[in-house]
Amino acid sequence: MAFVKGAWRILVAIKDGLVLLFLLLFFGLLYAALSWSPKPTNAVTTGALLLDLDGSIVEQPAEIGAMALLSGSAPGAKEYRLSDVVAALDAARTDAKVKAVVLNLDGFTGGGQVAIARVGKALDAVRAAKKPVLTFATLYTDDSYQLAAHASEAWSDPLGGVAIMGRGGSNLYYKGLIEKLGVNTHVYRVGTYKSFVEPFTRTDQSPEAKQANQALAGALWQNWQDDVAKARPKAKIAAYAADPVAAARAANGNMAKAALDAGLVDKLGDEAAFGARVAEIAGEASGDKSNDFAAIDFATYVKARKPANDGQIGVLTVAGDIVDGEAGPGTAAGDTISDLLLTALDEKNLKALVVRVDSPGGSVMASEKIRSAILQAKSAGLPVVVSMGNVAASGGYWVSTPADMIFAEPDTITGSIGVFGIIPSFEGTLAKMGVTTDGVRTTPLSGQPDVTGGTSPEFDQIMQMGVEDIYRRFVGIVAQSRHKSPQQIDAIAQGRVWDGGTARQIGLVDRFGGLEDAIAEAARRAKIDPAKARTYQIEKKPDQWAQWVQELAADRDQEQANAPRDMLARQSWIQRGWAMQAITDVKALVMGAGVRADCLECRGYGAPRNTSAAEERGVMAMIAGLWR
């Protein structure tokens, strides 16, 4: 028996050893797979650089976790980093391997006028280098057509065309639903134009909000037309957009022919005909490639030409909603961004800081935390330059105030210097179900805010005074930054949103220019030759495991395959995305930070945020629950 027990122990030990050895080998191979990648330069072929933009262009793509990718719950549409697109086009301009640049815009969902204009400028540079730029879409909409206008050949499917909608649209207002549900919304705000809370207190826009929003939409629409007209002088864009019915009637309802007649597109043909045309320029595809033409993969091309992240000009990106706590890229979490910046200041030999802002704002506390970290960089002697992207409003402007100089574009949306807070209480809803509340107090603030029994007058007064105090602080910070009096800033604040051109006139920004201009200015202030300046991107390192899974899943079916192509279905699809964003914004407002420096109207320009199927189901379930 002792022999059997001894033999059994030996067998178990061997088994445990083999399992341990297998696990070590498994994780060793996994680490090797994550760490190793072939030299991307060897993978770049000769042909047309293909930008198959099945998603949106953003300042900083959101991080998608490995589990979301493996479970299939990740958003279907992709996000493309603006700097990657621009860098690829700049490299293609002088790359002998790149015979042409091709943009497939069938799945393009937008990116904001600043981002799209920057890509358009890069496309113009490619054309100036005598390289053709060709675009294809079944149906162009405003954002995709702004890119197509910069092409040497713009193609549309004979069953498609160009649908120019212009700036503007409707917002959701919830006062009627709130009253039906018996919900009491307690709103505390400062700012005549601070319209973020209006959906909870009104059934329509206030006259002040409508005036400001009309001015903003009008300025951006004019800039859009100017950009398109400059890029494509032959396009009769003003007449086409002003009277689309006349254009359609003249072509007997054939929108593709109407676009061709108006000079908006150059040729009509399906995707196969377009591929054959590109093949004439760039050569035919070899072997089992799915395209008709020799295509250079965009992701591989970007990876091959990505510069080393070892410069002395730190670039800190504040992109997305500003929220408390920690979060991944694509969301401006106060703790995460401040920690990243302070770590970079401690570990890197930075000589200057550029803050790239593309945010409509959010939490006041998180905005202040980011601002404080930037001030630490400034107190360490680093010049600070802010570069504004599509939007830098409310909290986005708050974090910009430490700058020595602020760059923006005419299409930048900024300002919205105002503060608000909102708390719902459900005493009316409970009363409809026969539920009431009662209790005792030891002070006027006992149990406040009471979301089941309602807020007390004392609590409401304190909250309103607190919001007014934060507004005074906000105005004071801006006044100090812009070298103006608080009274002068208050006159242009009040929550009003401005386009970049007007913002420069009233002194909220200093110069027009993009990120490259801001980096050059930071280099000059740090006594570095701008031509030799290199950047260090201050952001969270990507999750290698998630990246590996994403590369494995790169060939999965994209949402583009299911994206509707005809005008009616496509516009409905796009508007559904905006509606989902509006509802999720409301959900985040109710569940997020109490006091906010946020901008509602700013969110309607650009592209709707990607939502997964799981998020859509969650939002729809919430709506259904409220309706019941």
**Which residues carry out catalysis?**
194, 394
Read off φ and ψ for residue 321, nearest 5 degrees: -65, 140
Dihedral sign, Cα of residue 529, residue 530, residue 534, residue 539: positive
Question: In the structure encoding, which two tokens stand for residue 221, read together?
Answer: 């629409």
Q: What residues have CB less than 8 Å from 346, skipping those under 6 apart?
A: none
Which strand ranges, in their side-by-side order, compose the sheet holding 98-104?
267-268, 153-162, 133-140, 98-104, 47-52, 295-297
Beta-carbon neighbour count of residue 413 at 10 Å?
Answer: 33
As a whole number of angstroms, the distance between CA 160 and CA 163 comes to 9
As a whole number of angstroms, the distance between CA 272 and CA 291 comes to 9
Q: What residues have CB less than 8 Å from 235, skipping those under 6 apart?
A: 149, 228, 229, 262, 263, 264
**353-389: b or e for each residue (b if 16 or more CB lie within 10 Å)?**
bbbbbbbbbbbbbbbbbbbebbeebeeeebbbbbbbb
Q: Give the C-alpha distances (Å, rounded to integers) separating 94 from 128, 231, 302, 307, 544.
A: 11, 21, 15, 16, 31
As a whole number of angstroms, the distance between CA 175 and CA 116 comes to 36
Read off φ and ψ for residue 599, nearest 5 degrees: -135, 110
Residue spans of alpha helices (H) in 348-383: 364-379
Cβ–Cβ < 8 Å for 255, 160: yes
Cβ–Cβ < 8 Å for 39, 520: no
Q: Parallel, antiparallel, or unpaired for β 497-499 and 413-415?
A: antiparallel
End-to-end CA distance of the chain: 70
Cα–Cα–Cα angle for 164, 170, 171, rounded to 5 degrees? 140
Could you write out the DSSP letters of every residue in 286-303?
A: -TT-SSSB-EEEHHHHHH
